[in-house]
Every structure is written in structure tokens, then in C-alpha cells.
Structure 1
Amino acid sequence: MVLPDIPKPLYEQLENEIRNHIISGDYSYGKKIPSEKTLMEKFGISRVTVRKAIDNLCKDGLLEKKQGKGTFVKSVKIKDRLDSIHGFTDSLNKNGRWPRKIIIEKSYKSPDERIRRELKIDADELIIYLKRVLLDGGSPYMIDESFYSAKKFPGLFDKINNKSSTYKLLEQDYQTCLAKSYKEISIVVADKLVQEELNCSIDEPLFYIHKIVYDVDDNPVQVSNMKVLGTRVTYSIESIEGSSYMNHTVDPQS
């Protein structure tokens, strides 16, 4: 909402309004935003004010103008580090982006042998299974399947929702300090189920990441399997060799 009687300049208010629409997914990546005339009429502001707000958002890399077509939400690749233990939400938040999470399934399950072994739990123990789709700017880009010990984290099941950060819950409610992670990464292609969940094409290249997160005592905390659109994400790894630093970028389409 743009209000003329508050101290913040009108163009800044409009910038925030458009940003919020992008964050919520109302204006999704690659889609056209309302015209200057529509924004002028909707908020009762001048064309100069609208243009200044749009120009600033273009400079910030959120919008782009296309000659003769209008102004569109710019589709920017998400950048994340493979050598970080932080979740996608934390990585995006640090870059000024606020993704949404939608829980597809949350249930108690009996683990298969691999998950049981990696979580180091007994055969008769149940796990918390969490499947979510992550969206950035209203567009889905990742399916995340996570597994936690129900015995080790009593009550966690009820605390998890679309707005919660599971890592923050583990750290704050269970005093679990996340210390390191092990990741295996490979390239797969989308099947019919992933096509529906990520709104992508069949056989589109995906990053498949299998991750185990450990606490400071080297105990496994979480196992997860992630399928990530290669067209939306770029991963980097920073390694040290002597006194030099090397930055490696992973691209599934190269």
C-alpha cells in the first residue's frame, strides 16, 4: 500500500510494494508486472514516481524492461555453496531473497536400510519424513525430502510448518549445534512426478544432492535428498590449495 501521509517517499513505498509482490509470488519470475498506467491509477501516484521506483528495481536486478513489451520480473539464478551446511532458506535470505516452502507430505515412517544406517538409529525406530517444494519468486525450483530421528527430536513433528526453519528449530529448541555436512551430487533428469511438482519439462536436467548433516559430536542430525532445477541454481565450491583460492562452479547443462 502506498500512503502519501507517511514520511517515506512514494517511490520507495512503491518499490517495497512491488518487492513484496515478487516475494509472495504474485509477480513471478519471467512474468510481466502491471503497466505504468495501471500502477498510477491503482496507487494514485504520478508517472514520474512509478518510473523512479521501476528504474531503481531494475538497477537492483529485480526487474528488466523489454522494448515494446513492458517490464518483467527478472529471472536470476540462485547461487549457493556446496561447502556450506546452511539450508537454502538461509542462503537466499543472506542474498536478500525470501523463498517460500510448501509441505507436500509430513509423516512418521519406518526408514529404509540406508536412512537407518546414515541416521544411526535402531531398526524399530520411526523417522520424521518431510517432503517440501521450495519456491523463489513464486516459481518452484527444488524438491527436498528430509529425514529426522523421531526419538532424538521429540515434538519436532508438530513444530514443523511452512514458515519454520527446521535448522533453527534444531538449534534453538533442541540445543543441537550443526557442525558439518557430507554431500553427494549427481545429475539426473526430471520424471513425470518431478515435472508436476516443479512445473518443468520431462528430462530437464536436475541436481540430485544427497546430504547428511552432523552435530559437533559427529552425530547425524538429518539426511536429505534434494532435486534442484539446473536452470535455476548455480553451485560453487571454494577450495584452498597453498595460499590460493579457487572457485568452482557446477552447471548440469555443460
Structure 2
Amino acid sequence: MGTDDVIAAFTPSMTGETPLYEQVSSFFKQRIRSGALQPGDKIPPETALSAELGISRTTIRQAMDVLVSEGLIVRQRGRGSFVASPKMRRPLNHLYNFTENMRELGAEPESIVLDCAVEPASPELEQKLELPQRQKRVFRLRRLRCADTTPILLEDTCIPYYLCPGIEQIDFASHSLYQTLSGRYELNLHHATETIEAILIGADDARLLDCTTPAPGYRITRTSRLDTGLVYEYTESVTNAERCMFQMELYSSNAGAKNPAAIERRVSL
């Protein structure tokens, strides 16, 4: 079914209580989520929609703004509006697991191991991991995380090796890192501090993430601690902003204080 056929199936109600722009945006949401409109399909120009539906162009623009804000369509200068590719919606209000998150979204997760080794920690990494004086080695795991074969996240994780000896022998293309740390080494993530920074993705990372360069992206750094307070993970990740959005639920300070596993969120301007 083409875009014109989809539009022909919509008849706005001029007498109902729902505002016209909400009717239009809801109609497009339903068609996009049902698959009637596919990623890359072009949305008719606002002037054409206005004429076809008998609705003012201002109302059409308001409806399109809603779809853009929700990541369902994208505007391209000089070309028009198109149905966007599905984005990974990453929650920020609880401790995050890529594999579980992808399955919740109905996507098949995949991890491609780029590097898996035990190596000396740099002075900067020693400080970040708060390594003991005689324990300066780290286990480094660098992976490309994919959803339905689409690259989503380039992830570089370092863990103090004294906490997980022998872990480099495990195939993390098919095993979960967190499940391994929890089940084999009894290391349970208790608290994480994350920083999310807007960046332009460099050429090397863009090649792995299969995106043009320079592309808008996010750099995510995470420091995780055990319930004893020991740092046991430092991770830097890069993701394409066109494939990922961040979602957070906000509570009052009193409500947040009741959740000891809350992620600390910082925004730098």
C-alpha cells in the first residue's frame, strides 16, 4: 500500500472533541507502527495533505511536529519528510542491560567482539577504577552491539582483572557479561553513574556503526560499583543519535531517595 492509499483511508472528524492535529498525528502513528508505512517512505508535503484532508496547513504542521518529536518521522532539508528508522529507546531510570532491552523492544540482540584481552591499565584507567597498588591489570572487552543486525552501540568495557581471573576465556559473542560477572564471580552491579555527551562520531567509529561521518551521536561513560563500594566496571560507549533515544522517568527527590540503585544523571552544557 502506497502513501497516497494510506492517506485516502483517513477521514478526520470535524465535530469530535479530539483536536484535528491529534487526529492526524494519531493516524500516522498507527500506520507507522502497524507497518503500513515503512521506514524511508516519503510523507506527502504539508500543502498536499492540507488540500487532501481539508485541514489548514498550520494544523498539519502541528501534527508533523508531534511525529518528529517522537522520532517517527524525519525532515530532510530540500527533500521532505520521511518515515524514520526505528530507534532504540533506552530507559535511564533503572540499571541498563542491552540484551534485555533489545528483546523488550522485539529486536534480536547480537554482540560482535572486537577486542578481548587482559592488559596493563593506563594511569587514567587506574584512577577511574580505583585499582589497588598491586593490582594494575584490567580485562578489556570491546564489542559492537547490534539489533536485528543493525549496529547500535560501540562499547568498550574495562574491569579490574583481580575481580574476575580467567574471564578472557569466555566467548562474549554468545555470553552475557553481566550474567557472567554475577553467576561466575558473584559480582553484582549495585550502583552506576553515567554521563551522556552529545558528539560528532569520528570516521573509525562511524565505519563500525555503519553511518556517515560526521554523524550526530552520544558518548556514554559509565562507572559501576558493587554493594561494597568497589568500582568494578568502567565503560565508554558511542551510539548513533539517529538510532537511539533516551527516556527517563522523573520523581520527586523524596521518591528518588528510596531507590538505592538509581542511576545518577548529569547533563553538561
Q: Are the equivalent residues in 2 in contact too, given 1:160–1:166 (CA < 8 A)?
A: no
Q: Cα deviations across residues 74-128 of structure 1 (Å, max 9, x unaligned)?
A: 8311111223222211222233322111001111221122221121213662111
1:110 partnered with 2:120: yes
Of 98, 101, 104, which aligns to 1:91?
Answer: 101
2:106 & 2:246 partners in 1: Cα distance? 18
Q: Cα deviations across residues 154-189 of structure 1 (Å, max 9, x unaligned)?
A: 111112420111000011111112111001110111
Give the structure-1-normalised TM-score.
0.65
Q: Cα deviations across residues 137-161 of structure 1 (Å, max 9, x unaligned)?
A: 1111210000011111111111242
Q: How do residues 99-178 of structure 1 correspond to structure 2 at under 5 angstroms?
A: 99-122=109-132, 125-178=136-189
Of 198, 202, 212, which aligns to 2:209?
Answer: 198
Which 4+ stretches in 1 moved above 3 angstroms? Answer: 58-66, 242-245
**Counterparts in 2 of 1:181 and 1:162: CA distance versus 1, 3 Å:** same
Q: Cα deviations across residues 8-45 of structure 1 (Å, max 9, x unaligned)?
A: xxxxxxxxxxxxxxxxxxxxxxxxxxxxxxxxxxxxxx
Give the structure-2-normalised TM-score.
0.62
**Counterparts in 2 of 1:119 and 1:243: CA distance versus 1, 3 Å:** closer
1:188 partnered with 2:176: no
Q: Which runs of 5 or more residues in structure 1 are unaligned?
A: 1-57, 246-254
1:83 & 1:134 partners in 2: Cα distance? 21
Q: Larger Cα Rg: Structure 1 or Structure 2?
A: 2
Q: Please state whether the residue corresponding to 2:124 is helix, strand or coil.
A: helix
Aligned to 1:35: none
Of 69, 78, 82, which aligns to 2:88?
Answer: 78
* Structure 1 range deviating more: 87-96 or 222-231: 87-96
RMSD between aligned alpha carbons? 2.7
1:140 & 1:62 partners in 2: Cα distance? 24
Q: Which runs of 5 or more residues in structure 2 are unaligned?
A: 1-29, 42-83, 257-269
1:172 & 1:139 partners in 2: Cα distance? 29
